[in-house]
Chains A and B, each alone.
Chain A
Amino acid sequence: MSTPDQQPTPQPVTDSRSRGSMVLKAVALVVLAAAVLSFPSMAANPFILSVGVVIMSYAVLATSWNFVGGFTGYISLGHAAYSGLGAYATGLLIIHTDVNPWIGMLLAGLLVAAMAVPIGIASLRVRGASFVIVSIALVLILLLVFQSWGSFTGGSNGLRVPRPFGPEVLRPEQHERFFYLHAALLAVALLVWWLIDRSRFGMGLKAIREDEDKAQALGVPTFTYKLIAFVVSAFFTALGGGMYALWFGFLDPIFQFSILVGSYMVLMSLLGGIRSLFGPFLGAVIVGYAVEYFKNQYGDSQFHLVAMGILLGLVVLFMPDGIIPAATSLVDRFRPQRTSIREVSAADLAEQRRTSDPVAARADQQSRTDDGTDVPDATAGTGTGAATDTDSPTVTEGARR
């Protein structure tokens, strides 16, 4: 559907713009990495450091969640199922098989990924609301099973996970090590997300997010793609859960299989922006800090639930695209000629072509009169456009409007 003459126009724009923004991005990345790596030495006391570990753990989970939520648009409220399974599988593997803790964590991740295949086959058959219902049901059923099956999982008494480091490693030092370990896991997850984002596979997933029926009609093997994204997401979530188990050393079904944890992942990702690489990370920093703050300040009262509920409601109502896309579009508003092709109206585009390339303009005129209407072409662009331009989140963002 996209006529060849559309190709040259965006190309020079992205080229001139990408060099500048790439340098900017690289600098931002280095600053971010430096900030993360220097946090343990800046932390005032072990408590702050442990909050940092919690936030990093949330960041891993939210980024892992975003493999499904961000790419396919399937909102899972039940990812706590995979983090909880990962945590328990890690703990149980170490206790029962005497395996090296880190290998145990990896095995647990693979195990959960394998379990995610049949779960994905069942739950990805339905869309939207039904999918969310299934994801919630999964957490509830696992909570029930892990509480009732006390002989194996420790039930409501909890499960003590052996520490991976010897007794000579003191608590603050342990926090520090786990902070870096979580950061490393987060980096791997982010890298994989970025690679998928730029791949053909990622294009297919985003096409599913924009319009699943149309994506299928265009030849995207939607079910396979969704399933792969789902399993990858479950794998990383399980690793995040396993890492948390090794750090915290104690598991209780109530906290491991909690819809609240799953909803935190959604809230973090939405708040930061599910279409951007660092969105979930940013959301995790904000929400993780807020959660720890409210728990610390208001202790046993249920006030933190109210605060979280209101925050989630506000995000859903007023900022469903998240902070990063909102900020990006704000910045873009002050950058002339750096808008993406989506934000240019069809009339502007025709004018641009006429002045820059008379041959293309004529061809464009031709195709337009041939088609009779311009509208179908534009709507088809939402599918293919989302698939062609992988770089900026604003492109696909604009396609939804």
Chain B
Amino acid sequence: MSLFVQSLVLGILLGGLYALLAAGLTLYFGVMRVVMIAHSAFLILAAYLAWWFTDQTGLDPLLSLLVTVPLFFGMGVFMQRALISRLRPATLTMMSVLLTFSIALVIEGTLGFVFSGTQRRIRLDYGGANFEIAGANVAVVKLIAFGLAVVSLAALFLLMKKTQFGQALRATIQHPEAARLIGINTERVAGYGFGLGLATAAIGGTALALDSTFYPSLHWHWIGPLMAIIVVGGLGSIPGAAIAAMVLGMGQALLQIPLGTTWAQTFFYIALFATLMVRPQGFFGGRLAQRF
């Protein structure tokens, strides 16, 4: 029973983190119809930057967010403006996959080149600390990662709902032509939306770095589950992605008891194929999602 509660708690914590990571992917897709394969590569990049920051200064890795979040935002705007907007509209979706794939390769190769392929880990004073809730052990680092996810998702939500920029972004997602008609500079909004997505990667990567070992080619392990989440949730739907992330994260954590860690990962892919068979557009996606 306590094993079950333990998995449940782990699943919630994991699901929150997944939701944060998948939110970025949904933003890119919603705003630009871009499938960003490099998202998880940027996660690993952020993790490395956090590690490097702590290694050099001895300060808490969370402080690196002050640098990485604006940096990643800038990189996102630059990527959208300089690279992705150059693609032909007719083949944008397909070609963006290949383009971001090539960016992922460059990041992975550069990380391997600079930091070598050895596994890295951040040493923290509170790294081993944990406490008990209802018979379940909760590691402090996992809780911090979850907290980061909750805070940034809430901030994202408020930004999207309450600010004028958020309104413009949502308008662009819903209907780009109409948004242009009422005077929204959709190109600029798209750039900022892309930057916003990448900023979530900075936070997510740092949260990941708190309690796991990482190495340059780790991003391949992440891209599959994240893509599965956004397809199950419905491409382009942020609430869909959040719910799918929670459900799949919990499912994975619960399946780890009978199946073991490796086989539990297949759950994501089974969910992905099952979704395509039953509802190709995902559970929260509009009918259009099927076409991209």
Q: Kindly state the separation between the CA atoms of A302 and B90 in the bound complex, as whole angstroms.
A: 34
Q: Is B209 at the interface (CB under 8 A from chain A)?
A: no
Q: Kindly state the separation between the CA atoms of A270 and B276 in the bound complex, as whole angstroms.
A: 28
Flag if B102 contacts A309 (CB, 8 Å): yes
Which of B91, B93, B102, B235 contacts A312 (CB under 8 A)? B102
Flag if B273 contacts A301 (CB, 8 Å): no
Which residue of the partner chain B has the closest CB to A254? B217
Flag if B273 contacts A122 (CB, 8 Å): yes
Which of A73, A129, A148, A312 contacts B292 (CB under 8 A)? A129
Which of B110-118, B170-178, B198-206 is found at the contact surface with chain A? B110-118
Flag if A133 contacts B231 (CB, 8 Å): yes
Q: Kindly state the separation between the CA atoms of A302 and B216 in the bound complex, as whole angstroms.
A: 10
Q: Is A96 at the interface (CB under 8 A from chain B)?
A: no
Q: Is B59 at the interface (CB under 8 A from chain A)?
A: no
Flag if B292 contacts A130 (CB, 8 Å): yes
Q: Is A303 at the interface (CB under 8 A from chain B)?
A: yes
Flag if A127 contacts B290 (CB, 8 Å): yes
**Number of B residues, CB within 8 Å of A:** 55
| Contact residues in B for A147 (Cβ distance below 8 Å) | 262
A68 to chain B, nearest CB (A): 12
Flag if A75 contacts B97 (CB, 8 Å): yes
Which of B223, B280, B290 contacts A136 (CB under 8 A)? B223
Flag if B103 contacts A302 (CB, 8 Å): no
Which of A137-145, A158-166, A326-334 is found at the contact surface with chain B? A137-145
Q: Kindly state the separation between the CA atoms of A259 and B101 in the bound complex, as whole angstroms.
A: 10
| Contact residues in B for A320 (Cβ distance below 8 Å) | 88, 91, 95
| Contact residues in A for B290 (Cβ distance below 8 Å) | 125-127, 130
Flag if A302 contacts B93 (CB, 8 Å): no
| Contact residues in B for A316 (Cβ distance below 8 Å) | 87, 95, 98-99, 102
| Contact residues in B for A123 (Cβ distance below 8 Å) | 276
| Contact residues in A for B4 (Cβ distance below 8 Å) | none
B251 to chain A, nearest CB (A): 15
Within 8 A of B (CB), among A83-110: none
**Number of A residues, CB within 8 Å of B:** 45
A10 to chain B, nearest CB (A): 25
A181 to chain B, nearest CB (A): 31
Q: Kindly state the separation between the CA atoms of A133 and B33 in the bound complex, as whole angstroms.
A: 14
Q: Is B154 at the interface (CB under 8 A from chain A)?
A: no
Q: Kindly state the separation between the CA atoms of A234 and B119 in the bound complex, as whole angstroms.
A: 36
Q: Is A335 at the interface (CB under 8 A from chain B)?
A: no
| Contact residues in B for A125 (Cβ distance below 8 Å) | 276-277, 280, 290
| Contact residues in B for A268 (Cβ distance below 8 Å) | none
Which residue of the partner chain A has the closest CB to B236? A129
Which residue of the partner chain A has the closest CB to B224? A140
Flag if A148 contacts B262 (CB, 8 Å): yes
Q: Kindly state the separation between the CA atoms of A132 and B93 in the bound complex, as whole angstroms.
A: 10
Q: Kindly state the separation between the CA atoms of A180 and B290 in the bound complex, as whole angstroms.
A: 43
Flag if A134 contacts B276 (CB, 8 Å): yes
Can you give 15 contacting A-B residue pairs, CB < 8 Å? A122-B273, A126-B281, A130-B289, A133-B272, A134-B272, A136-B224, A144-B265, A148-B263, A259-B220, A302-B112, A306-B109, A306-B113, A308-B109, A312-B101, A312-B102
Instruction: Mark A residues whose CB is within 8 Å of B.
Output: 73, 75, 77, 122-123, 125-130, 132-134, 136-138, 140-141, 144-145, 147-148, 259-260, 263, 266, 270, 301-313, 316-317, 320, 400
Other than A77-B98, A313-B83, give 6 A-B pairs with Cβ distance below 8 A: A126-B290, A132-B35, A132-B94, A137-B273, A302-B113, A306-B109
